Amino acid sequence: MNKLKSVLLIALFTLSFSLFSNSIKALESQIAFSPSQIIVKETDLGKKYIITITNTTNTDYTFLTEEKSVKKTDNTLDLIETTPLTKRLEIMSNEFKVKSNSKFELTVRVKIFSNESFEALPALLIKEKADPKNQLKVLIQSVIPFIVQNKNGNFKIDNTFTLNAQNYTIDPKVIITGTASNNGTKFCNLSGTVLISKNGVVIDEKELTSQINGLIFPNEKRNYLNEWNISKDYFDGLGEYTIESRINNDETDTTSVMKISFIYIPKNLILTVAGAVLGIGLIISIISIIKKSKRK
C-alpha cells in the first residue's frame, strides 16, 4: 500500500511539474524581447539601440534591468553571474512597466571602449520584478548580449582548400574541401564563392555563403565542402581547369583568394586515342605481314 502511495505521489508531482513548465513556456511566448542580440560594429560605438518588449497577455508586467556579462563557450554565450567591474551599457530605464497588450521600447547606449577582448561581453538582463506576495512564481527574464567589435584589433582571414584532383586527373567529379579561419583579433561575417575556369574563362560558379556565414570570432573557423562535375567529354572536356575559392570579409570588403589548377583528360578520349593507336598499329602490322608474304 505504501509503495502504491509513493508511486501515485511521484506521478502527481511529475504531472504538476510538467503542467507548470508548460504554462511558463506559454507565458514566455506571450512576452517577447527583440532583438535577441545586438552586434556593435566599430562605427556603431556610442550608438543608441532600442529593445522592444511586447506583452500580448491581459496582465501588466513590471521589469527590472541590469548590466551583466556573457562569456563565449563553443558556439554559445553563457551568462556570468558576477557583476561586471566596468560598465559598458548606459540603460535609460532601471525599472519599467509593460501594460497588457502593449509594447515598451527600452533605449540602451553602448559606451565607447578602446579594447575588447571577447573574454567577457556586455549583456542586458531584463527580469520580471518579484511580487512579495507570490515568492514561488518563476520570473520571466531575458539576456540580450551586445557583441562589441574590438576597436584596436586587426582583421586576418585565411582561406585554404584542397582538391581530390592532382596535377592531372581523369575523374570528372571535383571535390573541394576548404577552411576559412579567423586568425585576427576582430570578429567578422563571411561570405564566399567558388569560381571554376577552363583555359582562363569562367564557366561556372558555386556559392559558399550558406556554409560559412554568421559571426566568426578570433581563432574560430568555418569548414566548407563543394562538388562539381565536368560535364563535357572527349576534346570538349580536355583542358586546364582552375578552381578559385574567394572568401569575403563583409566587415571590410576584403577577399582572401586561393587557386588550384589541374589538367583534365576524359577517360573516353583516352580510350578513343588508345583504340586508334592500337588500330593503326594493327593495320601497320597487317600491311607489313602482307608485304613480307608477297616478297616470298
Per-residue pLDDT of the chain (296 residues; tens, 9 = 90+): 545 445 444 444 444 434 434 444 445 568 999 999 998 887 787 789 999 999 999 999 999 999 998 887 766 778 887 777 778 899 999 999 999 999 999 999 988 666 556 678 889 999 999 888 777 778 899 999 998 888 777 889 999 999 988 888 888 899 999 999 999 888 888 999 999 999 989 999 999 999 998 888 888 999 999 998 887 666 677 888 999 999 999 878 789 999 999 988 776 555 555 566 666 766 666 666 666 665 65
Give residue limits of the domains in the chain: 32-148, 157-271
Class of 157-271 in CATH: mainly beta
Indicate if 157-271 has the same CATH topology as 32-148: yes
Q: What grid cell was written down for 237?
A: 572536356
pLDDT at position 20 is 39
Quote the pTM value: 0.68
pLDDT at position 5 is 47
Range 32-148 classified under CATH 2.60.40.10: yes
